Amino acid sequence: MTDSDASQPAYAVGTAGAGKAFAPGEAPASEPGKTNISVSRGLNAWLRARRTSLAFTSYQTGQLFLVGSHPNGTISFNQQNFSRAMGLCWRPGRLYLGSLFQLWRLEDMLRPGEIGNRIFDAVLVPRNAQTTGDVDIHEVGVDGSGRVIFVNTKYSCLATLDLSHSFKPIWKPRFISKLAPEDRCHLNGLAMDKGEPRFVTAVSRSDVLAGWRERRHEGGVLIDVSNDRIVTDQLSMPHSPRVVGDHIYVLDSGRGQIVRIDPNLGEKTDIAFCPGFLRGLSVVDGHAIVTVSKPRNGTFSGLLLDGELKARDAEPWCGILIVNLSSGDVVEWIRLEGHISELFDVAAMPGVTCPMSVGPASAEMHNTISFDPIEEVPIAQVA
6 belongs to a structural domain: no
User: What are residue 304's phi and psi, to 5 degrees?
Assistant: -60, -25
User: What are residue 61's phi and psi, to 5 degrees?
Assistant: -110, -5
Q: Write the pLDDT tens digit of every residue in 64-108.
A: 999 999 988 999 999 999 999 999 999 999 999 999 999 999 999
* Domain CATH number, residue 221: 2.120.10.30
126 belongs to a structural domain: yes
Q: Write the pLDDT tens digit of every residue in 258-311.
A: 999 999 999 999 999 999 999 999 999 999 999 999 987 655 667 899 999 999
Predicted confidence at residue 138, as pLDDT, reads 98
376 belongs to a structural domain: no
Distance CA 325, CA 73 (A): 25
Predicted confidence at residue 298, as pLDDT, reads 53
Q: How many domains would you assign to the chain? A: 1
217 belongs to a structural domain: yes
The model carries a pTM of 0.90
Instruction: Give, in order, the Cα–Cα distances in Å from 100 to each of 4, 27, 45, 200.
Output: 31, 30, 35, 21
13 belongs to a structural domain: no
Instruction: Give, in order, the Cα–Cα distances in Å from 127 to each of 106, 140, 309, 354, 367.
Output: 6, 17, 43, 20, 14
Give me the domain span that covers residue 306.
35-69+80-368
263-291: buried (b, 16+ CB within 10 Å) or exposed (e) per residue?
Answer: beeeebeebbbbbbbbbbbbbbeebbbbb
Distance CA 277, CA 305 (A): 8
Number of C-beta neighbours around residue 146 at 10 A: 9
334 belongs to a structural domain: yes
167 belongs to a structural domain: yes
